[in-house]
Amino acid sequence: MAIRKLMLTLAAAGAVLAGTPAMAAVLEVYKTPWCGCCTAWAEAFRAAGYDVQLTDMEDLTDVREEAGVAEELQGCHTAEIEGYFVEGHVPLEAVAKLLEERPAIRGLAVPGMPSGSLGMGDDPGAAYDVVAVDNDGRTSIYMSVGKR
């Protein structure tokens, strides 16, 4: 029994050190009940090992206001992970970078619904920006996807 417990502890520690999101905090996703692309985005995170919790809401206004998501940055769903907001079709690699670097920002956004972004067809040739929002509401490009 002690050996099994030790092996489980070592496996969990290895997963954390390897950076697998399975041991990470919950990704809470707020979406409208009729949105299929939001579900596809959330399922991609689940498949990548994140613990995803979905909450369907008719109106996301209060969630976005509380998170500090400006109207011009809104996508079709809002998520929260470890104190950061994740608005719209933010790619997996941007969230992984966010959790690894832990910058002093409110969160990330992909405004609108870019064709080919994660959940919107997942086209490797898609090109769009991931925007970082600092604690004063200022924005900057956090990552460019598909742009050279």
- Where do we find the tokens 């090992």? 49
The Cα 41–Cα 50 span in angstroms is: 12
> Which backbone phi and psi does 73 adopt, to 5 degrees?
-105, -5
- What pLDDT does residue 77 have? 96
The neighbouring-strand residues paired with 18 are none
- What pLDDT does residue 20 have? 52
Q: Edge-to-edge strand order for the sheet containing 77-81?
A: 51-56, 26-31, 77-81, 84-88, 105-110, 128-134, 139-145
Compute the mean pLDDT over every residue in the chain, rounded to the nearest whole number: 85
Q: Which residues contact 124 (CB under 8 A, 6 or more apart)?
A: 116, 146
In the numeric block, which tokens belong to residue 146? Answer: 């598909």
- What pLDDT does residue 124 have? 82
Nearest to 25 by CA among 9, 1, 3, 49: 49
- What pLDDT does residue 11 have? 37
- What pLDDT does residue 78 have? 96
pLDDT in 10s for each residue of the chain, 148 residues: 333 333 333 333 344 444 555 455 699 999 999 988 999 999 999 999 999 999 999 999 999 999 999 999 999 999 999 999 999 999 999 999 999 999 999 999 999 999 999 999 878 889 999 999 999 999 999 999 997 5
Cα 117 to its chain centre, rounded Å, is: 13
Domain at 24-145: CATH architecture? 3-Layer(aba) Sandwich (3.40)
Domain ranges of the chain: 24-145
